Chains A and B, each alone.
Chain A
């Protein structure tokens, strides 16, 4: 398997006159926890949509898990996992039903699916509530379940869009430990967050400003380069330099 999980070269997306993503070039290594930061409106969502095969680029090149985003978007969707704070599980299905549903979508079935869902329920500690509707679970549990489901099919890369928003501080940390564990298994973790302390847990962090990546390095490297005490200071300095403003 390739050691590069994601590679982009001058990846660009325009909407009319507006260049949402402007010649993005970067690489994400296999098994890496890659933090994808940026102010609201910097272009993160558009970039993620292109990398997950949901939106075609205007120009430039991108490969995700060795697959081309223009011609192999459907194949990409099978090789990746995705979860976001806003959309994750079906509230009116039970824990088991959600697992079966998503497992089915990702092409798992029969005893393979059964074994996977058993492992999942045990690893998240939800044995007692597997027949409970997801709506009745606390947010922290839901998020952990959603994350586990997003990697049920052993994807090459998992995209997490603000996975810990609004989650209590203890669960938020458990969530990150789970991410370390997953990256240890060789799954690449591509994650966005508004919690700047979480940026420090990433192997490398990129900061988007005005559709471009203005900084990309290890958390320590960024702090050294900007002579800053924390990633939050680096982020605020870069985001304040945005010209596009808060349109």
Chain B
């Protein structure tokens, strides 16, 4: 397996903002690699360096074996790029957009149609519609089709699912899995932590720094503290009580339960129940739970210390 992206000690600043701080990443042929992190963490800057649109201040980056600064012209025809903001021509139709992007890359929509067919067939009924009049989910499918029309070696998707509902997100990831089977390497960024599990490997990114980089399984496995899910009828009361508990290490709401870690190696669960009851929190259920990527992310964030 060859290396498709090699980023070494890349830093980039804008004015006084250090958008990227010494980032090093290697991405291998055929994998789905995810950069997971909130808005403002540096994901887009990194994508713009990989797509040769920005020059790093320090460090070096190679994409498909070419240097992003010296050999950018060789890289560009081989990339499919879907920027975070809707990138199509709103006043061209679906079909015209597809033709335009194909012709820019010296091909035509028929040549690689089989590649985009699983995505594009849903758009067939709207061929003549202006791109600006498509719904969010349809725009996303068209943008992906346009990014793929020249059969790129590497597909770079910057936050393709932001603001998209849970169903469309699920469908989008199913499409990415199909593309991976076609041998296309995919680099994707997302603020949704649950999407990490759909990637082969992920880099957790915050404040321009890579917090951790590994398979989702390994990241979760490196969460060492025992994690408990705690439930009660009065969620807010429970959060407040847990935060005031002197042994509490972290208290994070997670859907219907609160994820809790303790400062002791062997937490005293009976003691905690007793404490909660004294605080007036009743019907408490405590059980050991498995951590997810979001638990790991917050634990790593904590160790970096954010001053909020």
Binding site for B on A (CB under 8 A): 38-41, 85, 125, 138-141, 162, 165-171, 173-174, 176-177, 180-181, 184, 194-197, 200-201, 219-220, 230-232, 235-236, 239-240, 246-247
Assembly CA distance A177 to B240 (angstroms): 9
Closest chain A residue to B253, Cβ basis: A173
Are the CB atoms of B253 and A194 closer together than 8 Å?
no
Are the CB atoms of B301 and A168 closer together than 8 Å?
yes
Q: Assuming the A-B contacts A165-B163, A167-B39, A169-B193, are A200 and B255 also in contact, with contact meaning beta carbons closer than 8 angstroms in the complex?
A: yes
Is the C-beta of B93 less than 8 angstroms from some C-beta in chain A? Answer: no
Binding site for A on B (CB under 8 A): 37-41, 122, 135-138, 162-170, 191-193, 206, 235-236, 239, 252-256, 294, 297-298, 301-302, 306, 308
Residues of A within 8 A of B169 (CB): 194
Assembly CA distance A194 to B193 (angstroms): 13
Are the CB atoms of B162 and A165 closer together than 8 Å?
yes
Output the least CB separation between A165 and chain B (Å): 6
Assembly CA distance A195 to B255 (angstroms): 10
A194 contacts which of B40, B163, B252 (Cβ < 8 Å)?
B163
Are the CB atoms of B136 and A40 closer together than 8 Å?
yes
Residues of B within 8 A of A39 (CB): 165-168
Output the least CB separation between A84 and chain B (Å): 11
B308 contacts which of A125, A180, A194 (Cβ < 8 Å)?
A125
Assembly CA distance A68 to B235 (angstroms): 34
Residues of A within 8 A of B122 (CB): 246
Main secondary structure of the interface of B (DSSP, over half): mixed
Assembly CA distance A39 to B165 (angstroms): 5
Q: Assuming the A-B contacts A125-B308, A184-B236, are A194 and B294 also in contact, with contact meaning beta carbons closer than 8 angstroms in the complex?
A: no
Residues of A within 8 A of B166 (CB): 39, 194, 196, 232, 235-236, 239
Q: Assuming the A-B contacts A140-B38, A201-B235, are A194 and B164 also in contact, with contact meaning beta carbons closer than 8 angstroms in the complex?
A: yes
Residues of B within 8 A of A201 (CB): 235, 253, 255
Could you pull out 5 A-B pairs where Cβ atoms are within 8 angstroms?
A39-B168, A180-B239, A184-B236, A235-B167, A239-B167
Are the CB atoms of B255 and A246 closer together than 8 Å?
no
Instruction: Enumerate the 5 nearest inter-chain pairs by beta-carbon distance, A residue then B residue, closest first.
Output: A168-B38, A166-B39, A197-B255, A200-B255, A180-B236
Output the least CB separation between A55 and chain B (Å): 19
Output the least CB separation between B10 and chain A (Å): 22
Residues of A within 8 A of B306 (CB): 168, 170
Assembly CA distance A235 to B169 (angstroms): 13
Assembly CA distance A141 to B162 (angstroms): 20
Question: Which of B235, B255, B301, B306 has most chain A Cβ within 10 Å?
Answer: B255
Output the least CB separation between A190 and chain B (Å): 18
Are the CB atoms of A171 and B163 closer together than 8 Å?
no
Closest chain A residue to B122, Cβ basis: A246
Closest chain A residue to B306, Cβ basis: A170
Output the least CB separation between A10 and chain B (Å): 26
Residues of B within 8 A of A125 (CB): 308
Are the CB atoms of A200 and B256 closer together than 8 Å?
yes
Are the CB atoms of A246 and B138 closer together than 8 Å?
yes
Residues of B within 8 A of A194 (CB): 163-166, 169
Closest chain B residue to A181, Cβ basis: B236
